[in-house]
Amino acid sequence: MYKEIHLDAPNIGELEKLYLNKAIDSGYISSAGPSVSEFEGQCADYLHIKKAVTEKTRAIIPVHLYGNPCNMNEINRIAKKYNLYVIEDAAESLGAKYGGKFTGTLGDLGCFSFNGNKTITTGGGGMVAGGDVQRLDHIKFLIAPECYKGSKAVLFADTGNRIYCRIF
Ligand SMILES: Cc1ncc(COP(=O)(O)O)c(C=O)c1O
């Protein structure tokens, strides 16, 4: 015979049962739905965040996770309203499309990662894509001032102490 020793005794009560049933009944398990909105609201109150956009906000950085594009129409609408840049983090969404356009091309700038754990890899580094050549030149200047000017995208591979750039 052995005796069971719980590391943490189960303490599932009426509230847990209620929330579980609500989740099953509504079909919302995670990532969306009324409970998520309520939780976000409570977090915002707790952190004293009245609204996401303040006078200090300069950009929105949507992250297209697991190949799933963010709601870019809505994000671009908010960005336009508040005069903000949209910098897409497309590190996990290379090849994904939203409204017929590739993620990373829907905002002002799109950032891609070619690190070893990504869909395609250069071993390290990434790529910034955008339509504003002057801005891309500035990014290139910040990454590697010796890079050429006038390109459409900057591909860089950081191999420790040297940064290689491929210009498109
Ligand atoms: C969404 C997202 N953004 C950015 C990064 C960072 O990319 P890197 O690996 O090039 O630092 C990752 C890495 O996993 C990621 O998943």
Residue range 141-157, pLDDT digits in tens: 777 655 555 555 556 55
Residue 51 annotated as catalytic: no
What is the arithmetic mean of pLDDT over 61-86? 92
pLDDT value, residue 150: 54
- Asked whether residue 142 falls in the same domain as residue 159, the answer is yes
Higher pLDDT, 131 or 100: 100
Higher pLDDT, 145 or 168: 145
The reply to whether 33 falls in a domain is no
Ligand 1 in contact with 119 (CB < 6 A)?
Answer: no
Q: What does the pLDDT look like over 8-22, one tens digit per residue? A: 777 789 999 998 898
The reply to whether 105 falls in a domain is yes
Which phi and psi angles does 119 have, rounded to 5°?
-55, -45
- Asked whether residue 160 falls in the same domain as residue 139, the answer is yes
What is the arithmetic mean of pLDDT over 126-137? 83
Q: Which of 50, 118, 140, 152 is catalytic?
A: 118
Mean pLDDT of the chain: 80
Residues 6+ apart with CB under 8 A from 103: 64, 69, 72, 88, 90, 93, 94, 96, 97, 110
Residue 76 has pLDDT above 60, yes or no: yes
The CB density around residue 92, as the number of other CB atoms within 10 Å, is: 18
Q: How many domains does the chain have?
A: 2
Q: What does the pLDDT look like over 87-121, one tens digit per residue? A: 999 999 999 999 999 999 999 999 999 888 888 88
C-alpha–C-alpha distance, residues 166 and 143, integer Å: 12
